[in-house]
Amino acid sequence: MRIALYQPDGPLEFWINGLQAVWPQAEVALWQPGSPPADYALAWAPPQAFFDEQPGLKAVFNLGAGVDALMRLHIPPQTLVVRLDDAGMAAQMVEFVCHALLRHFRDMDGYQTDARAGRWVRREPALRSDFPVGVMGLGVLGTKVAQAVRGFGFPVQGWSRQPKAVDGVQCFAGSAQLDAFLAASRVLVCLLPLTQDTENILNRHTLSQLKPGGYLVNVARGAHLVDADLLALLDSGHLAGATLDVFRTEPLPPQHPFWGRPQIHITPHISARTLLPDSLAQIIAKLQALLQGQPVAGVVQLERGY
Ligand code: NDP
Ligand code: OXD
């Protein structure tokens, strides 16, 4: 068995040693143009040549949850695309989103400004009932986030492609129910995959349907958001702020207008990192299952793009 690896700047030795420990007879090697074709691969955002030169790949394990970079490529029809499902990311996403929500809800930015100015000011407490949270995407990560937010006592609704039932979460599905979902939300959390259907979905039309004083948390992909529309809605006062972890261009260019906006909290795509030991263990378990002809979770449906 030959396993190819592609992850620029990735910890290649970690993956190679981990796989070799389980399959000592396997040839595990970094893929470069001209490398001999492999049976299986672990990859993050490879170039088209990676698939063109390996038409017999049985499966590629995406070294992340989002597969949008792979979906832009022509993948041989028999190659199974398997993504990380959770692998330690859900807990991180829960922490990140709840932190963003609570920082905004408790006006911690205001208290920080006051503290820096030496001001002792106690604000009126906000009501959770005035901060309904809408989670776009009720998948592996979105469901856990919605449940955690519910655990803090906020009203929560979720939106998915197919109808779902999640305890304590009012569920909406499909484009027909998007407006009702948005109108019921004040804080909007995006945990959608980036597909043809979801690109630019956070735009002036959708964001202006949030309740006044709306707040956006985008932890999915930068191309979900129309940057200029967010800025316009912040300027108009309809939106109160945003926490953005992902951007159309990463790193966010120094001249981008998001920098320096006090209502926008920026982080460098760290809301849920790929944890190496968890991810390696999940990939090994999935490859073992595939080798035994068993089904695995996280197989991407190419026709729907996630
Ligand atoms: P899943 O595939 O498990 O969940 C995707 C959810 O989005 C599903 O509920 C799906 O609906 C819904 N969805 C997809 N398309 C549509 C649509 N057109 N309309 C309505 N709902 C839709 O993904 P994960 O939860 O694992 O991850 C979500 C995304 O988070 C990833 O694709 C990735 O881009 C991003 N991510 C970001 C990270 C970061 O560090 N910033 C880290 C990890 C992930 P249905 O249930 O009906 O299929
Ligand atoms: C992912 C990511 O999709 O890191 O896993 O964004």
Give tens-digit pLDDT for 259-286.
999 999 999 999 999 999 999 999 999 9
- For residue 269, indicate whether it is catalytic: yes
**Which residues 6+ apart lie within 8 Å of 178 measured at CB?**
159, 172, 206
Note the pLDDT of residue 3. 98
Residue in the structure block whose two tokens are 């009126």: 124
Q: How far is the CA of 21 from the centre of ligand 2 (A)?
A: 26
Is 89-266 CATH 3.40.50.720? yes
Note the pLDDT of residue 218. 99
Cβ atoms of 242 and 215 closer than 8 Å: yes
Cβ atoms of 84 and 298 closer than 8 Å: yes
**CATH number given to 2-87+274-291:** 3.40.50.720
Per-domain boundaries in the chain: 2-87+274-291, 89-266
Instruction: Judge if the beta carbon of residue 306 lies within 6 A of ligand 1.
Output: yes
Ligand 1, atom 7: closest residue by C-alpha: 137
Ligand 1: residue of 97, 192, 221 to mutate (most ligand atoms within 8 A of CB) is 192
Note the pLDDT of residue 220. 98
C-alpha span between 264 and 211 (Å, rounded): 18
Note the pLDDT of residue 147. 98
Residues lining ligand 2, judged by CB closer than 6 Å?
Answer: 64-66, 274
Q: How far is the CA of 127 from the centre of ligand 2 (A)?
A: 33
Options 150, 221, 224, 265, the catalytic residue: 221
Is-same-fold flag (2-87+274-291; 89-266)?
Answer: yes
C-alpha span between 302 and 231 (Å, rounded): 34
Q: How far is the CA of 213 from the centre of ligand 2 (A)?
A: 29
C-alpha span between 217 and 95 (Å, rounded): 13
C-alpha span between 113 and 122 (Å, rounded): 13
The token pair at 228 is 């200029």
Task: Name the helix (H) or strand (E) containing 223.
Answer: none
Note the pLDDT of residue 151. 98
- How many other C-beta atoms lie within 10 A of the C-beta of residue 147? 18
- For residue 99, indicate whether it is catalytic: no
Note the pLDDT of residue 306. 97
Identity at 282, one-letter amino acid code: Q
pLDDT per residue rounded down to tens, the chain (306 residues): 999 999 999 999 999 999 999 999 999 999 999 999 999 999 999 999 999 999 999 999 999 999 999 999 999 999 999 999 999 999 999 999 999 999 999 999 999 999 999 999 999 999 999 999 999 999 999 999 999 999 999 999 999 999 999 999 999 999 999 999 999 999 999 999 999 999 999 999 999 999 999 999 999 999 999 999 999 999 999 999 999 999 999 999 999 999 999 999 999 999 999 999 999 999 999 999 999 999 999 999 999 999
The three-state DSSP-derived secondary structure of 157-184 is: EEEECCCCCECCEEEEECHHHHHHHHHC
Per DSSP, which regions of 219-293 are E strands?
A: 239-244, 264-266
Q: How far is the CA of 68 from the centre of ligand 2 (A)?
A: 10
Ligand 1: residue of 191, 198, 266 to mutate (most ligand atoms within 8 A of CB) is 191
